[in-house]
Structure 1
Amino acid sequence: MSRALVIKVTAGEDAPERCNQGFTVAAAAVASGVPVSLWLTGEASWFAVPGRAEKFSLPHAAPLADLLESVLLAGRVTVCTQCAARRGLEQSDLLKGVRIAGAPTFVEEAVADGAQALVY
């Protein structure tokens, strides 16, 4: 069994390179067959809303919407409970397949045997 990655992206359009790097690593890991749990927190939470990832643009980077789609197809995507609440987001506002969960769930995933947590 391969090592699982728990990736937390804390940045959005406020730090586009850091944001895109987290999504790129998550998509590359999924493509390599690595189990991935991608957490969207802070400004990255907005990318769980339909149409938001399509608006993100960074020169010389894969489209964020494509990266997110690949993770949704083969991994798990979560929006932080508090981050969603601060932005007025509810489950019905999010892309199909994205869940809302809190810190206890993140900690459980991050400390699981064989897991590696990365924060961007």
Structure 2
Amino acid sequence: MPRPLVIKVTCGDEDAERCNQAFTVAATAAAAGAEVSLWLTGEAAWLGVPGRAEAFALPLATPLAELRDVVLQTGTLTVCTQCAGRRGIGPDDVLEGVRVAGAAVFAEEILRPDAQALVY
């Protein structure tokens, strides 16, 4: 069994390649059977809101909404509490299955035995 993978993505449309890479790694790991937790922070927080991932475009890349949905099927997708608040995103604004949580939950996840944390 692969070890738990926690990925934090800190960018959105302003750095599309880095953002897409985080989603690609998360979805690939989830499809391979890893326990995946994908955290959306900074401008990536918008990608937890309906329609935002669908509007994201990067040539030659798997659509971000498809990658997001793979993660949601088997893993956890979280929007950072402070990042959401700074953008006026509330718990009722995010997609079904997406949670809003803060640093204490993130720290708990990355401090689990055998957890691997990546930041994009």
* TM-score, normalisation: structure 1: 0.98
> Is 1:27 aligned to residue 27 of structure 2?
yes
Unaligned runs of 5+ in 2: none
Structure 1 residues 35-50: aligned runs within 5 Å = 35-50=35-50
> Is 1:102 aligned to residue 98 of structure 2?
no
Q: CA deviation at 1:114?
A: 1.1
Structure 1 residues 9-88: aligned runs within 5 Å = 9-88=9-88
TM-superposition CA deviations, 1:66-117 (whole Å, max 9, x none): 0001101110000000000000011110000000110011011011001000
Runs of 4+ in 1 over 2 A off after TM superposition: none
Q: CA deviation at 1:2?
A: 2.2
- Sequence identity percentage: 63
Partner Cα separation in structure 2 for residue 11 and residue 18 of structure 1: 7
Unaligned runs of 5+ in 1: none
* TM-score, normalisation: structure 2: 0.98
